[in-house]
Amino acid sequence: MKPAEPATLQAPSRMAPDGAAIDIRDLQFAYRTGPRVLDISAFRVTQGEHAFLFGPSGSGKTTLLGLISGVLEARQGSLNVLGQNLATLSPAARDRFRSAHIGYIFQMFNLIAYLSVEENIMLPCQVSSERRERLGGADPRGEARRLAEHLDLGPYLRRNVLELSVGQQQRVAAARAMIGRPALLIADEPTSALDYDHRGQFLDLLFAQCNAAGTTLLFVSHDQTLMPRFERQIALREVNAAATGVT
Amino acid sequence: MLLHLAWKSLLNRKLTTLLTLASIACSVGLLLAVEQVRTGARDAFANTISGTDLIVGGRSGSINLLLYSVFRIGNATNNVSYEAYQHFANHRAVEWTIPYSLGDSHKGYRVVGTTSAFYEHYRYYGDRKVLFASGAPTEGIFDVVLGSDAARVLGYKMGDKITLSHGMTEAVGGAAGHDDKPFTVTGILAKTGTPIDRSLYISLYGMEAIHVDWQEGAPPMIGEEIAASEISKDRLEIHNVTAFLLRAKRRIDSLRLQREVNTYAAEPLMAILPGVTLAELWNIVGYAEDALRIVSVLVVIVGFLGMLVAIYTTLEERRREMAILRAVGVGQAKIATLLIMESGLLTVVGSLLGISLVYGAAFAAQPLIEQHFGLYLPIRALGQVEYLYLICLWLAGFALGVVPAWKAYRNSLADGLSIRL
């Protein structure tokens, strides 16, 4: 697999004035009927960083990602993502913000079954005009092809996504998350369905793409063998005072 | 974008989508077909006769008079004397009259004694005249003109000789027949799509001639028959007609004429306004029409519920899809819109299929129906009522989409970006 050429370094979609991709202060969160699941006094990820976030189940990972991506609403405290306080935005505005600036990769089953590989990759450009415009006039289809080439998916563009291996599917998900150079990429255990060799390759590709686009990476996993490859490691249990899980 | 997604998603569930489309197409098709048949039948019915101001006959029920004079159904109970007919035919306010003398038949087809006025003045479907496919109106006493159905079904050609029978029963061996006086086919009418096609036409003289030797409605005794060769027009005296159609010189006179007929002192007569009586008759038939319509509306409701079930049941397995869309930044409102679009698309495409189904079936079935039932169903473009139906259906389709949309909205609110497997 070819790494992205470092010469194509580009600015990410959004720069926070203070250089913080994620800046959380005094955030508390509880689901409507449940107990408090998050209580974070300070959490910061610097722009451009590759951060590894780990923690057992019950440590509040899913909730934290929901808040950062703007699907959940922070009612207390401040939650700044790329310099934007999400707590002050309406749900629709948070959706727009997410579609414009955040790429998201799930653990597995990332793809929409009724769309081709190419259409899956192009999806964010269809949802968000900002992402489309960031291609600088390039055709989303062409950009999807370019990303696919970088991720060794060239021959599969027209395929039905269900014909792809899990590793290929995750790479398609990465291409979709990265199209239009979002400033923040959230990867929620993207390698847990992959075998050891493919994990390493996937990480290489992800890093290369993030570096090329200047994208901040928030990588969530409980697989601590991957940890050394990241420049920053965060244990959620230490950040979240409301964590209930056991180590 | 959403429309594209909705379309792709439906295509992905081909079988369900096809079945749903089929059920919507069939139910919408049925609704439209009922509407077509209903208006078609009503049109055909109302247009059977036009240009006639009054129908006059012996006093009986108005619907009965309409049925036997125009639709050739049932029988007259009283005749109109020729004097009374002449009185009104020569009336100052009357433009023309068409006399009908009924009562005989040929192989189940009614025989109508009339005059050249019929070929000249009878109008249907607005201003359409009775035209000849071949031949010409009857001239001789024993000439007969065939309606197009009668000619086609019985397979008669110009010049064929046929015998008539008395009443509507099939007479065998001349007991109550007119076998001794055969008629020659001198004309065949063009298709009209009205009961005219199912009758045979002779002159009033012909009608009189076959009964000339009859006494009191019974066939002549042996030895008292009068041979056809001995009969000529000047030896015949027309005694009565069964009914006659009348056109007033000024339409405004028709009500006055109607009163005049109804109060005619010499004999009990009755005049009806064809339009009014047609409407009365249609009101009776109308109950069947309402029942048909109610059934077809119910079928449409069932079809739509099927669609609702089809979409709703897929929601559980589509939670992942929704979470992916949410992650890409599709708002919850748009997810809901997506589902409304799916049901809207199914409705629109389904009903368009239904429309083509109806017209396809109509074009295929029209000649068959005409052949077997002698009923000509005109195929017409969608009318106002149908467009109204379609608009209502489409609105209903989109509105029904709100149900799964609401469910999907709740699901995605609960799921966020977590994917439940």
- DSSP-derived secondary structure for A113-134: TTSBHHHHHHHHHHH-HHHHHH
pLDDT for B372? 64
Who contacts B411 (Cβ-Cβ below 8 Å, separation ≥6)?
B315, B319, B322
Who contacts A60 (Cβ-Cβ below 8 Å, separation ≥6)?
A37, A38, A236, A240, A242, A243
Q: How confident is the model at residue B36 (pLDDT cuts 50, 70, 90)?
A: confident
Interface of A with B (CB under 8 A): 62, 65-66, 69, 71-72, 91-92, 95-96, 98-100, 102, 104, 106-107, 109-115, 119, 123-124, 126-128, 176, 188
Of the candidates A65, A112, A176, the beta carbon closest to that of B321 is on A112
Please state the rounded mean pLDDT for residues A131-142. Answer: 82
Which of residues B38 and B189 earns the better pLDDT score?
A: B189
Strands (DSSP E) contained in B53-208 are 54-58, 80-81, 94-106, 109-114, 123-124, 128-129, 132-135, 143-146, 161-162, 165-166, 183-189, 199-203
pLDDT for A161? 85
Q: How confident is the model at residue B143 (pLDDT cuts 50, 70, 90)?
A: very high
Q: What is the mean pLDDT of chain B?
A: 85
Question: CB-based contact (8 Å) between B3 and chain A?
Answer: no
Of the candidates B324, B333, B417, the beta carbon closest to that of A71 is on B417
Q: What is the mean pLDDT of chain A?
A: 84
pLDDT for B169? 60
User: Phi and psi for A82 in degrees, rounded to 5?
Assistant: 55, 40
Residue A100 with chain B: CB contacts under 8 Å = 329
When mean pLDDT is compared across A3-12, A75-84, A238-247, B98-107, the lowest value belongs to: A3-12
pLDDT at A16 over 60: yes
Of the candidates A98, A107, A113, the beta carbon closest to that of B12 is on A113
- The ipTM, to two decimals, is 0.87
Query: Residue A187 carries which side chain, given as an amino acid letter?
Result: A
What tokens were used for A147? 């990303």
Please state the rounded mean pLDDT for residues B110-127. Answer: 91
Question: CB-based contact (8 Å) between B15 and chain A?
Answer: no
pLDDT at A247 over 70: no
pLDDT for B232? 77
Secondary structure letter of residue B400 according to DSSP: H
B305-327: b (≥16 Cβ within 10 Å) or e:
ebbbebbbebbeebbbbbbbbbb
What's the CA gap between A145 and A92, in Å, rounded?
30
What tokens were used for B182? 């055969």
Please state the rounded mean pLDDT for residues B110-122. Answer: 92
- What tens digit of pLDDT does each residue of B147-205 get? 998 898 888 989 998 888 877 665 444 445 677 788 999 999 998 878 898 899 999 98
Q: How far is CA B177 from CA B49, B163, B172, B232, in A?
A: 31, 8, 7, 20
Residue B7 with chain A: CB contacts under 8 Å = none
CA distance B342 to chain A (A): 14
Comparing CA positions, the residue from B169, B159, B151, B179 lying closest to residue B107 is B169
Place of tokens 């400033």: A183
Q: How confident is the model at residue B272 (pLDDT cuts 50, 70, 90)?
A: very high
Q: How confident is the model at residue A5 (pLDDT cuts 50, 70, 90)?
A: very low
When mean pLDDT is compared across B120-129, B172-181, B362-371, the lowest value belongs to: B172-181
A102-137: b (≥16 Cβ within 10 Å) or e:
bbbbbbbbbbbbbbbbbbbbbbbbbbbebbbebbee
pLDDT for A156? 85
